[in-house]
Each structure stands twice: as structure tokens, then as C-alpha cells.
Chain A
Amino acid sequence: MSSHNHQHAHTIADDIAEKTFQDVSLCYQCGKCSAGCPVRYYMDIAPNKVVRLIQLGFYEEALKSETPWLCAGCQTCSTRCPQEFDLAKFMDAVRELALEKGVEIKHKDILKFHEAFLNQIKRFGRSYEIGLIAEYKMKTMHLMQDVDSGPDMFMKGLLEVIPHKMKDKKSVKDIFKKTAKK
């Protein structure tokens, strides 16, 4: 937790600390994370600089960044950090806060993929690929994407027509209900 005094208002940095169990001030900006990041060159801001924005209180800039959405979550950064700052987890929290604060997400397709994926889980308890692909395509209107591999996978029995339902679907629906953002 950040060392705030009693006048200090609850900040985005505090939210991040609560969600990630670590203080953002741990990072001393060596840049090792960005040097080893496999998707750095697709990002608008280097990963260590997103941390810096939060450290300095530029919350809006950090939450609007494309970087957290392009992060593949591979944890190379977290593994190599000399301060043992879990940057991958930090990126999770920045994404979550961007959604909570209603910031406009530039990478809409990535968000739509996650929404479509979670909708299958909510419905069936397990991932359902045909449902996921159909919902993703409808949300993004990328209707022709992956028409090359779909039929082949279907013929090989890798795409199930009927979703694998688990029995106690209510318990999964309850999890979604109880953890839904207000």
C-alpha cells in the first residue's frame, strides 16, 4: 500500500496497489521489462513508461494507453524485474480500471474478444469455440476471418457443434453475478 497520510485521497495508484498487492513505487525505471517485451513494438507507450505515468499521477494518460491491451500477459517482464514488481499483474489492473472508469478503449476488437469469451463461460461454464467465434464475428463484423481454418477443424472433429455444458450452471452464473461491476 502507498504511504498516504490522512489527508490523502484514494488514488488510481491506491486502486492498483489493492488489486495487485504491490506498491507501484517499487519500480525504479530500469526498463528491463520493456527491453524484453515481445510486443513492445506494437505498443504506443513502453511498459515501464506506463508505470511511470502512474507513479507521477498521470492517470488518464496511463488508462488511455493502448499498451495494457496489447500486453500478451506472457510475464517475461514480471520474471525479470530486479524489484520483483509483477508488471503483468499491474497491466491487468490498469485494464480493469480503464473499464471501471469508462475510459474509451482503442483496441475494441481485443475487448470484444474478451467479452465474447466470457459470455460463453457465463452461459455454459466452459469455453464454446463456435459460440465464441460467432459472437466475436458479429460484434466486430469481421465475418470472413478464419474461414480458412474453420471448415478443416470442423471436419477433424475439433469444433464441437454442441457446447460441453457442465451441470451446476447456476453456481457459475452466481459467480458472474456476485463479481459483476456495479
Chain B
Amino acid sequence: MKVGYFPGCSQTGTAKEYDISLRKVVEKLGTSFDEIKDWTCCGATSAHVTNHMLASALAMRNIMLAEQQGLDDIVAPCAACYNRLVVSQHETMTQPALKTEVEAVLDTKLNKEIKVMNLIELFQKIGKEKISENKTFDIKNIKAACYYGCLLVRPSSITHFDDAEQPSSMEELVELAGAKTVDWNYKVECCGAAHTLARRDIVLDLSKKIIDDARDHGANVLVVACPMCHSNLDMRQRAMKRAYPGHKEFPVLFLTELLGLALGMKEKELGIDKHTIEFNYKELAAEKAAV
């Protein structure tokens, strides 16, 4: 099976390990990617908060390229890119005036709607059962708090994906991989997202609440499906320790890294060694045995 791939900018930089682990896991499950050629940034937060036409045109350039490449569906593993692509396509295709304007900017005609999938929808398409079938390594000592963040499940009126307040589709994948999941309160709370540079205080406050709630509910790992969430929750823990003395380090894995471990890949191979907060399954299991 071949699926269209929109990596998004983080995948080529600060979240390189997300791209590495995603490609390895997908290949192991028998699927390959057809990357959108010469894709551009989706516009991200900065475009849609300052200029709605720019935001629509940047996102739709990628949809246009997907159409020209003959793709029917694409996966956008970054929850923020996913949200921008889904929303921009919906608005452009349902608002005739906007469509005319976007077509003029891109100098093209947009004919086809492309199915844009988030990371979880990708695994649902590949076949969830393939995860359990290909599992070779036992990760039963992982107790995961599955964190969807805000944009993976929103806006539900357009995405029609899972439950916007109490989603459970990620738990299903994590359990199929052999890990345990916990019930907790901050699954869809915001990490502060794009405020990471300009208002780090807000990001530290919101992200710490998420980590604390995960720990309080018995989790030993946070699992995410968004590079922005990962950077706020993992990389920002160093600043968090300074702002909140007593904060204890907590590992944050991409869903693809957790799946990769269950499929028999090693931490280094998956890029987990690039994280700010170290994670090693053997150490986690040993700690658990010692308690």
C-alpha cells in the first residue's frame, strides 16, 4: 500500500526523530510513502492569526500538489499541519468566493478533495491488527498517558474523528502494541503551542499541568502525536525545572517511537536519544521491578 506523505517543517528539523520513527514503523507494517514533491509550510499558526488568505493559499498549495501528483489521501503527522490542511481545504471547497480567490493566488483550478489523515487515521488505514501481528518486543511496563493535544481531534465538525472531549483511538493503538494506558484528565488540554518562544511562561505553566496530571494518574510515559506538543512537553522540561523547582523529569515519546519499540526497534534507531528527557525501556522496566 502507498500513502501520500506531507512531512511538515518540524519533521525535517526539531522533530527529525518523529520522521525517522514514522518511516521505519510504516515500512515494517508494509506501507510506503509517496511524499508530496516540493511541499511548502502549511502556514502554521503565524499565517492564520495574521492573514487568512495567506493561510488558505499556503495550505492549499500542498493540496494542489497532491492532486497534481495523483494522490487520493495524504497523512500529515504533525497535528498542527493536519488541522491547517483539513480546515483550509474544507473552507476553500465549501466557500465559493474563497475558492475563486485561492485559485487566483495559486493560478490553478482546484478540482479534487484530498483525504487528509492524522497519524492515528493512518494506522487505522494500514490496519490496526498489523501492530499486534508484527509485535516482537514486550513493552508491558510502559504505562502511557495518551496525549492528543488540541488539534488532533479538532475541529470535530470538520474532522469527524474520534470524540473531541474523550478520545480513545490512540489508547487502542498503544494497547495493541502491548503497553498499558491510564485514564487521565488532560488528554485534550492545550500545551501552549506556538507561544513557545514569545510567551514561554504560558507554555511552561500549561505543559507542567499536563505532565503532573499524567504522573498523578499513574503514567510513566507521555505519548504524543504532534511535534509542537513534543517540543513543549519534552524540550521545555529544562526550563520547567528552573521555573518550578521540584519538577521531576518525565519522558515523552512519539506514538511512532512507542510502536517502533514494540516492533523490535531500538531506542537509538528510532531517534529517542535525541530527546531532552532520556528514555530507555530496559531502565524503565528495571525501575519498575525495583519498586
Contact = CB atoms under 8 A, between A and B. Distances in A.
Partners in one complex: yes
A74 B9 contact: no
B117 interface: no
Contacts of A174: 105, 107
A115 B44 CA distance: 12
A110 interface: yes
B208 interface: no
A125 B8 CA distance: 11
Interface of B: 9-10, 12-16, 38-41, 43-54, 57-58, 61, 83, 91, 95, 104-107, 150-151, 154-157, 164-165, 188-190, 192-195, 197-200, 202, 206, 235-236, 238-239, 273-274, 276
14 contacts: A73-B150, A78-B155, A92-B49, A109-B199, A113-B197, A126-B41, A148-B238, A149-B235, A149-B236, A149-B239, A171-B61, A174-B105, A179-B54, A179-B105
B186 to A, nearest CB: 10
A115 B47 CA distance: 9
A85 to B, nearest CB: 11
A17 to B, nearest CB: 12
A21 B96 CA distance: 11
Interface stretch (A3-11, A23-31, A157-165): A157-165
A125 B40 contact: yes
A58 interface: no
B194 A164 contact: no
B40 A126 contact: yes
Interface of A: 19, 21, 38-39, 42, 70, 72-76, 78-79, 84, 86, 91-93, 95-96, 99, 107, 109-115, 117-118, 121, 125-129, 132-133, 136, 140, 145-146, 148-149, 152-153, 156-160, 164, 166-168, 171-172, 174-176, 178-179, 181
B179 to A, nearest CB: 25
Contacts of B61: 171-172, 175
Given A79-B165, A99-B50, A166-B40, 14 more contacts: A19-B52, A38-B190, A73-B193, A75-B155, A79-B156, A110-B199, A121-B41, A126-B9, A158-B13, A159-B14, A166-B38, A172-B58, A174-B107, A175-B57
Which 7 pairs show the lowest CB-CB distances between chains A and B? Answer: A74-B150, A127-B9, A74-B190, A114-B46, A117-B46, A179-B54, A113-B198
A76 B49 contact: no
Contacts of B165: 79
